[in-house]
């Protein structure tokens, strides 16, 4: 099992540009989570999906952020337009639906917006 | 969500046991205690979880106080690879997501 796969590992972009982060969850997992990590705020949940349907997006900072899960094996997090304060490490995680199933995290995408 | 309190940092010597404490005085009856760790430049990884009884797995042991207001993650023999941030998290019975605090930065000295 390859684990949760995120791409790209690093992204550097200029303010105002569109950024798309990608995630492939572990096969068979029915929950998918997007987290953001910064020094100031730590790990924050942005949004999570169950069976490709968004369940809670209350952590999405503002309308510039959007997330989709078109099928069980792929999700995207898009920022348009990007701003320097969006610079962070973005993690994707997946899990089975049973109670207390552990979350399996990818290695993250480090986003730098200049 | 009920909160947890952990020391910001701890040090341990290599090959010695490490006891990482966590206080959760407002824990509810349905909250499970989960521990994750985050190695440098990696995503968090699951370590262990429990409800009331002490738990053991290949990575660590979890000791839960009788009143459940505190718990301790025990690494039986620390290695340099165990240097990481350790997060103690309360997860409600029906919750699927995790809410992370600031964790404990463990430094392992050779």
Taking an 8 Å cut-off on Cβ atoms, the answer to whether A100 and B91 are in contact is yes
Mean pLDDT of A9-35: 97
Q: How many CA atoms lie within 13 A of B28 on its CB side?
A: 9
Residues B89 and B46: their CA atoms lie apart, in Å, by 11
Mean pLDDT of A74-93: 98
The order of strands in the sheet holding B55-56 is B18-23, B70-75, B61-64, B55-56
Q: Does B97 touch chain A (CB under 8 A)?
A: yes
pLDDT category of residue A87 using cuts at 50, 70 and 90: very high
A38-79 pLDDT per residue, tens? 999 999 999 999 999 999 999 998 899 999 999 999 999 999
pLDDT for residue A1 is more than 70: no
With contacts defined as CB-CB under 8 Å, which chain A residues touch B35?
Answer: none
**In the prediction, which pLDDT does B95 show?**
82
- Compute CA A3 distance to the chain's CA centroid, rounded to the nearest angstrom: 15
CB atoms inside a 10 Å sphere around CB A2 = 7
SS3 B29: coil
Residue B88 and residue B1 in contact, taking contact as beta carbons nearer than 8 Å? no
pLDDT category of residue A97 using cuts at 50, 70 and 90: confident
Q: Does B99 touch chain A (CB under 8 A)?
A: yes
**In the prediction, which pLDDT does B2 show?**
64
Taking an 8 Å cut-off on Cβ atoms, the answer to whether B96 and A97 are in contact is yes
Mean pLDDT of chain A: 96
Taking an 8 Å cut-off on Cβ atoms, the answer to whether A104 and B46 are in contact is yes
pLDDT-flagged residues of chain B (< 70): 1-2
Mean pLDDT of A9-14: 98
Residue B29 and residue B36 in contact, taking contact as beta carbons nearer than 8 Å? no
Residue A91 and residue A43 in contact, taking contact as beta carbons nearer than 8 Å? yes
């Amino acid at each position: 099992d390859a684990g949760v796969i995120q791409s790209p590992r690093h992204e550097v972009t200029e303010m105002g540009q569109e950024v798309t982060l990608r995630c492939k969850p572990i096969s068979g997992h029915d929950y998918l989570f997007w987290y953001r990590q910064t020094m100031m705020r730590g790990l924050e949940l942005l949004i999570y999906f169950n069976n490709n349907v968004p369940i809670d997006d209350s952590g999405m900072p503002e309308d510039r952020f959007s997330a989709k899960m078109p099928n069980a094996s792929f999700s995207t997090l898009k920022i348009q337009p990007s701003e320097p304060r969006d610079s962070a490490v973005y993690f994707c995680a997946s899990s089975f639906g049973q109670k207390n199933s552990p979350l399996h995290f990818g290695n993250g995408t480090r986003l730098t917006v200049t | 969500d009920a909160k947890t309190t952990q020391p910001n940092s701890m040090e341990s010597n290599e090959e010695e046991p490490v006891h990482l404490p966590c206080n959760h005085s407002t824990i509810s009856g349905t909250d499970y205690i989960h521990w994750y760790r985050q190695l440098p430049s990696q995503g968090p990884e699951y370590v262990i979880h429990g409800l009331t009884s002490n738990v053991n797995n290949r990575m660590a042991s979890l000791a839960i106080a009788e009143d459940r207001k505190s718990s301790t993650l025990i690494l039986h023999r620390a290695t340099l690879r165990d240097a990481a941030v350790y997060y103690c998290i309360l997860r409600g019975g029906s919750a699927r997501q995790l809410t992370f605090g600031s964790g404990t930065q463990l430094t392992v000295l050779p």
